[in-house]
Amino acid sequence: MTEPVAIAAHVNGRDRTFAVQPHDTLLDALRDDLGLTGTKECCLVGECGACTVIVDGRSLDSCLMLAVEADGASIQTVEGLAEEAGRSLSVLQQAFLDTGAAQCGFCIPGQLMSAHALLELTPHPTRAEIEEGLAGNLCRCAGYEQIIEAVQRAAEQRADRVAEPMSRREPSVDVASLPDARVAPQ
Ligand code: FES
Ligand code: FES
């Protein structure tokens, strides 16, 4: 039995410390040590994108990264998308709801994180850029059209919010009133 390794990271806006085994993946640490089960476990070989999170501004498959490599990193998971907008859904999450992009929901946390990373880097993506940005995220329900539409809608609404005075913004959905704050199954 190897000795656990102490990790300190900034996770969803909070400083967190946790102990991992040297062979643990970041996915293991997020789900098992930090209880962030919004990040999904599926293929474990970097093919499905269900485990996508953002580390130091880059989206990546957390099943392919060792947890020890995340020491000192800034990590964002799907739970952090809602927190980013206070206690409300982000524009992107709301767009996924409004377009019916979430069917069984299993791929949605990964799709959201890839889309969020894309919109942070490319606020006005073309359809081809959206398809490329989400190419690593598979959806078994084949809801690709609705997912692309959601990202397009979010891009438009984010642009509108930049242009719109704070006082004219619609109140957003209270996450606590929704059946599942992660907009995806555990
Ligand atoms: S679980 Fe990581 S890419 Fe599929
Ligand atoms: S919504 Fe079911 S796998 Fe994508």
Residue list, ligand 1 pocket, CB within 6 Å: 41-44, 46-51, 61, 63
Tell me how far the alpha carbon of residue 114 lies from the centroid of ligand 2, in angstroms.
15
Give the number of the ligand closest to the Cα of residue 61.
1
State the pTM of this model. Answer: 0.86
> How does pLDDT run across 103-149, given as a tens digit for each residue?
999 999 999 999 999 999 999 999 999 999 999 999 999 889 999 99
Tell me how far the alpha carbon of residue 20 lies from the centroid of ligand 2, in angstroms.
30
Site to substitute for ligand 1 among 37, 63, 139, most atoms within 8 A of C-beta: 63
What's the token pair of residue 92? 């992107």
> Which of 183, 1, 185 lies closest to 96 in space, CA to CA?
183
> How does pLDDT run across 3-47, given as a tens digit for each residue?
899 999 999 999 999 999 999 999 999 999 999 999 999 999 999
> Which of 33, 49, 55, 153 lies closest to 106 in space, CA to CA?
49
Secondary structure of 122-171 in the HEC alphabet?
CCCCCHHHHHHHCCCCCCCCCCHHHHHHHHHHHHHHHHHHHHCCHHHCCC
Amino acid at 155: A
Domains of the chain: 5-80 (3.10.20.30), 91-177 (1.10.150.120)
> How does pLDDT run across 37-85, given as a tens digit for each residue?
999 999 999 999 999 999 999 999 999 999 999 999 999 999 999 855 5
